Amino acid sequence: MSITYDKSSGIFTLSTNNTTYQMQADSYGYLLHLYYGRKTRGFADWELTFIDRGFSGCPYDAGHNRGYSLDALPQEFPVQGTGDYRTPLLILRDSEGTYGADLHYSGYEIHEGKYSLPGLPAVYANDGEEAQTLIITLKNDRLNLSVKLLYGVLPEKDVITRSVIVRNDGQDKITILRLGTACLDFTHGKFDLITFHGRHTLERQFDRQSMTHGTFSVSSRRGMSSHQYNPFVILADHDTAETHGRCWGMQFVYSGGFEATAELEQFDQTRLTMGLAQEKFAYPLKTGEEICGPEVIMSFSSEGLEKLTHNYHRIIRENVCRGKYKTAQRPIVLNTWEALYMNFDGKKILEVAECAKSLGVDMLVLDDGWFMNRNDDNRALGDWQADEAKLGCTLGELVKQVNSLGLKFGLWVEPEMISEDSELFRRHPDWAMVIPHEKPVLGRNQLLLDMSRREVREYLYACLSDILSSSNTEYLKWDFNRSIASVYSHTADNQGKVLYDYVLGLYEVLERINVSYPDVLIEGCAGGGGRFDAGMMYYTPQIWCSDNTDALDRMSIHYGTSFGYPAGVLAAHVSTCPNHQTGRITPMKTRYTVSSYGAFGYELNPLKLTDEERQEIASQIEQYRKDRELITEGLYYRINNPGDPYVAWEFVSPDGSKALVNAVIPTNHGNMPEIYITPRGLTPGALYRDILTGKVYPSDALMDSGYPLPLPKGDYEASTLRLERV
Ligand code: GLA
């Protein structure tokens, strides 16, 4: 049993193969957090200390017990107004404007299997995989409000998930002003917080800082998970590194606004939370209504960041991604964006396709610019009819011709958007999210469609369905190219719901497409990696990682991304030089080494390549086909950090029989000292052969002392070592 309840102490124990999570419904009816860490026997109730603390409120039910304060005790679901002045998960207001509601434990249920969530993505258990669900109900009698805390335990994955459902059964209309899903309270410890910040074209940069007193938060107020902060955070002991030390992760399975907070409070206790963004959120619940807090995937490692990463990689690959492409190899694509932008016609597309085929590419992806009036990025979003004059034929016919060259066909769409200059806007101006009598905020000269409206979702489904059923389009690149600013729905009874309902609306359309067209691969995209989150991965098993294709910048983007997300979900393409984002010139080999990371492809005009480059690309594609299983299914190791004199990363097959070590030396210097790379994860006591040279290495010496990199002859040189166990 991975979930047990001890009646005499009120302690719940959630166990995975290597971790234990404990909480206690105590004699006053509060649900206190006891422990999340390395697997243990017995009960960690000594974690609780009861000290009379000045200015920390005591619940009335504790009577004269002044040592009992929720301000100082670790909690599972802290609510505003209970005398706990730390960051709450729940803030609510009743119709009189009164804040707060004391919640008391009312019961629990344990179920076999992993819960799912209405309308929201969530981790699922595979057939035959062990999983259990615990539901703890907390209640407030005054409002007749219930809060169900959902815990999913996947023992073999070392993962515990959390979600929450708040339900109003009272007569009063209440408004939820803040809804967090998960909280981890630590009674002591000195921690660092690891977060991933960025911007358009430089997403998920690693940041690590020591906690100081106060609350630090990373969040997105943009209605999307965002380029700026990723909804994945790690709390780690000060001395935790890749291969040793304790660390805890929280990953939000949600693609809208979020907030993660880490607070070091007055008694040097630490609270970590994850939940919905509070701004522009005021969710009304009438009698009988409920709202579900998106899922948080939690994991703990006592063996450093590397193990935590492996846990997250496995859960995303095996229990979040779904459909045919969860396991099927993804096509190697040639994407037309950086190759042609919007300057093409049907003839050019076919020339590019033919050339791409000769290089060994599997699929041509026609990016932006293929539909009516879309010759620049200022108009036409919403009108999803092909520009037949530009293409020289219908979309279906173009796809047929691409197919007849032996290539699959993929297409770019940006369904959630509407341009003011579009037929759709002229027909349905009220479908755009624009606040009446306010001038809308533009982004890339476009507006958002109101995804909370059924008729909008029906329209989009019909458009996409039309494309997919009238042409053999086997891949959609689903883009989203601006942050949400003006939040307004003409049909909502309350504007405070719209942002949340928008995301549910998006998920509904994605789910319908997935169900109706199970063979179609959807690649997520939001100006690159602006919605690179586990919520999207449930519907789109790969995501365009960044609009930045520069090899050097990509290394740091891939590095940050790797902490929470596996290589297979990350799309990376080799582009031309000078690079279109940075102007940098890097060797073709380096561009390949960096891009051969996950869902691989090219983003350049093959007609402009020299013969030598063509040959190089053809052999890269051959090589990628040989390596890709190892890349997409192997264990990933960060050998060191971008910023060091060299950057190295490694993939090792799950059985340890093969390894691929990549390294790039960003800057060459005169008379450089030798650089030694130390691979990890090889089978101890084994011998490994370098596939290229035949040289045999003893695994322990190699992992201990490393092998020398060939000294570079210029900047940005890459080298690869492919090993197989002898
Ligand atoms: C976004 C995407 C790009 C490309 C353009 C097209 O920026 O991230 O890859 O598709 O839109 O407009």
Report, at the CATH architecture level, how domain 3-319 is classified: Distorted Sandwich (2.70)
Q: Which of 412, 417, 419 for mutating ligand 1's site (highest number of atoms within 8 Å of CB)? A: 412
Report the separation in Å between the CA atom of 331 and the middle of ligand 1, taken as the mean of its atom positions: 19
- Ligand 1, atom 11: closest residue by C-alpha: 527
Is pLDDT above 90 for 290?
yes
- Nearest alpha-carbon partner for 115 in 322, 294, 316: 294
User: Residue 106's pLDDT is what?
Assistant: 98
Reported confidence tier of residue 432, pLDDT bands at 50, 70, 90: very high
What pLDDT does 415 receive?
98
pLDDT at residue 555, rounded to an integer? 97
Please tell me the distance from the alpha carbon of residue 195 to that of residue 181, in angstroms, as a whole number.
Answer: 18
Tokens 């891949």 correspond to what residue?
Answer: 475
For residues 587, 592, 597 and 603, what is the CA-based torsion angle, rounded to 10 degrees? 100
Which residue, by CA, sits nearest to atom 2 of ligand 1? 527
Give, using CA atoms, the residue closest to atom 8 of ligand 1. Answer: 527
- In whole angstroms, give the CA distance from residue 407 to residue 409: 6
Contact yes or no for 261/252 (Cβ under 8 A): no
The C-alpha atoms of residue 584 and residue 666 are separated, in whole angstroms, by 12
525 lines ligand 1 (CB under 6 A): yes
pLDDT at 47 over 90: no
**What is the Cβ-side half-sphere exposure of residue 534, based on CA atoms within 13 angstroms?**
32
| Centre of ligand 1 from the C-alpha of residue 300, in Å | 36
Do residues 131 and 125 make contact, with C-beta atoms less than 8 angstroms apart? yes
Task: Give yes or no: 533 in active site.
Answer: yes
Instruction: Please state the atom number of ligand 1 nearest to the C-alpha of residue 527.
Output: 8
Closest CA to 246 of 184, 196, 296, 163: 184
Q: 29: left (phi > 0), else alpha (psi -120 to 50), else beta?
A: left
Q: Is 367 in the pocket of ligand 1 (CB under 6 A)?
A: yes
Read out DSSP for 172-189? S-EEEEEEEEEEEEESS-
Instruction: Kindly give the distance from the C-alpha atom of residue 305 to the centroid of ligand 1, in angstroms, as a whole number.
Output: 33
Single out the catalytic residue among 237, 377, 613, 633.
613
Q: What is the pLDDT of residue 501?
A: 98
Q: Ligand 1 centre and the CA of 528: distance in Å? A: 7
Specify the residue for token string 């969040």: 219
Would you say residue 469 has pLDDT above 90?
yes
Ligand 1 nearest atom to the CA of residue 412, by list position: 10
Ligand 1 atom closest to residue 526's alpha carbon, by position in its atom list:
8
In angstroms, rounded to a whole number, what is the distance separating the alpha carbons of residues 199 and 529?
Answer: 9
16 in ligand 1 pocket by Cβ < 6 Å? no
Closest residue to atom 12 of ligand 1, CA basis: 368
Give the residue among 543, 567, 532, 548 at the shortest CA–CA distance from 649.
567
Tell me: the pLDDT tens digits for 126-141? 999 999 999 999 999 9
Q: Does the beta carbon of 547 sit less than 6 angstroms from any atom of ligand 1?
A: yes
pLDDT single digits (tens) 181-228: 999 999 999 999 999 999 999 999 999 999 999 999 999 999 999 999
Please work out whether the CB of residue 552 comes within 6 Å of at least one atom of ligand 1. Answer: no
Nearest CA to ligand 1 atom 1: 527
Q: Whose CA is nearest to atom 6 of ligand 1?
A: 368
Q: Residue 1 has what pLDDT?
A: 84
Residue 228 neighbours by CB distance under 10 Å: 19
CB of 281 sitting under 6 A from ligand 1: no
Calculate Rg over the CA atoms of the chain: 27
pLDDT of residue 694: 98
Please give the pLDDT value at position 39: 97
Under CATH, which architecture does the 332-419+449-485+509-633 domain have?
Alpha-Beta Barrel (3.20)
pLDDT given at position 214: 98
Q: Which ligand 1 atom minimizes the distance to the CA of 525? A: 8
Atom of ligand 1 nearest to the CA of 477: 10
**Residue 644: which pLDDT band, with cuts at 50, 70 and 90?**
confident
State how far the Cα of 52 lies from the Cα of 529, in Å rounded to an integer: 49
Q: Is 717 a catalytic residue?
A: no
Q: Tokens 């599972």 sit at which residue?
A: 76
State the distance from the centre of ligand 1 to the C-alpha of 479, rounded, in angstroms: 7
- HSE (side-chain half, CA atoms, 13 Å) at 66: 4
pLDDT in tens, 386-400: 999 999 999 999 999
| Ligand 1 in reach of 368 Cβ (< 6 A) | yes
Given 203, 533, 547, 603, the catalytic residue: 533
Does 337 sit in the ligand 1 pocket, CB within 6 Å?
Answer: yes
Pocket of ligand 1, candidates 342, 365, 531, 547: which has the most ligand atoms within 8 Å of its Cβ, to mutate? 547
Distance 446 CA to ligand 1 centre (A): 14
203 lines ligand 1 (CB under 6 A): no
Among residues 564, 568, 451, which one has the least CA distance to residue 510?
A: 451
Is 527 close to ligand 1, i.e. is its CB under 6 Å away?
A: yes
Q: Which pLDDT value is given to residue 642?
A: 82
Residues with Cβ < 8 Å from 44, sequence gap 6 or more?
20, 22, 34, 35
**481 Cβ inside 6 Å of ligand 1:** yes
Residue boundaries of the structural domains of the chain: 3-319, 332-419+449-485+509-633, 647-725
- pLDDT above 90: residue 262: yes
**Segment 474-520, tens digit of pLDDT:** 999 999 999 999 999 999 999 999 999 999 999 999 999 999 999 99
Q: Residue 624 above 90 pLDDT?
A: yes
Proportion of the chain above pLDDT 70, given as a percent: 100
Q: Which amino acid is at 245?
A: G
Ligand 1 mean position to 195 CA, how many Å? 26
Phi-psi region of 59 (alpha: psi -120 to 50; beta: other; left: phi over 0): beta
Report pLDDT digits (tens) over 67-97: 999 999 999 999 999 999 999 999 999 999 9
Q: Per-residue confidence at 46, pLDDT binned at 50, 70, 90? A: confident
User: Ligand 1 centroid to 651 CA: how many Å?
Assistant: 29
When mean pLDDT is compared across 40-54, 119-133, 238-252, 457-471, the lowest value belongs to: 40-54
CATH number of 647-725: 2.60.40.1180
Is residue 527 predicted with pLDDT exceeding 90?
Answer: yes
* Residue 643 confidence (pLDDT): 82
- Name residue 329's amino acid: Q
The CB-based long-range contact list for 289-292 (8 Å cut-off, 24+ gap) reads 289/167, 289/168, 290/165, 290/166, 290/167, 290/168, 291/165, 291/166, 291/176, 291/179, 291/500, 292/117, 292/118, 292/119, 292/120, 292/163, 292/164, 292/165
* Residue 460, helix vs strand vs coil: helix
Q: How far away, in angstroms, is 205 Cα from ligand 1 center?
A: 21
Q: How far is the CA of 417 from the centre of ligand 1 (A)?
A: 13
CB 138 within 8 A of CB 105: yes
Residue 160 has pLDDT above 90, yes or no: yes
Which ligand 1 atom sits closest to the C-alpha of 377? 12
pLDDT for res 237: 98
**Across 623-638, average pLDDT:** 97
Tokens representing 201 are 């074209």
Burial degree of 386 (CB within 10 A; 0-12, 13-18, 19+): buried
What is the CA 555 to chain-centroid distance, rounded?
18
* Spatial separation of the C-alpha atoms in residues 593 and 574, rounded to whole Å: 9
H, E, C per residue of 134-169: EEEEEEECCCCEEEEEEEEEEHHHCEEEEEEEEEEC
Ligand 1, atom nearest to 528 Cα:
8
| Arithmetic mean of pLDDT over the chain | 97
Q: What mean pLDDT comes out for the span 342-364? A: 98
569 CA to centre of ligand 1 in angstroms: 18
**What are the residues facing 275 on neighbouring strands?**
180, 259
Measured by CA distance, the residue closest to atom 4 of ligand 1 is 337
Is the CB of residue 75 less than 8 Å from the CB of residue 33? yes
Reading the block at residue 104, the tokens are: 């008391």
Q: Ligand 1 test: best mutation among 200, 368, 483, 546, most atoms within 8 Å of CB? A: 368
- Model confidence at 598, pLDDT cuts 50, 70, 90, reads confident
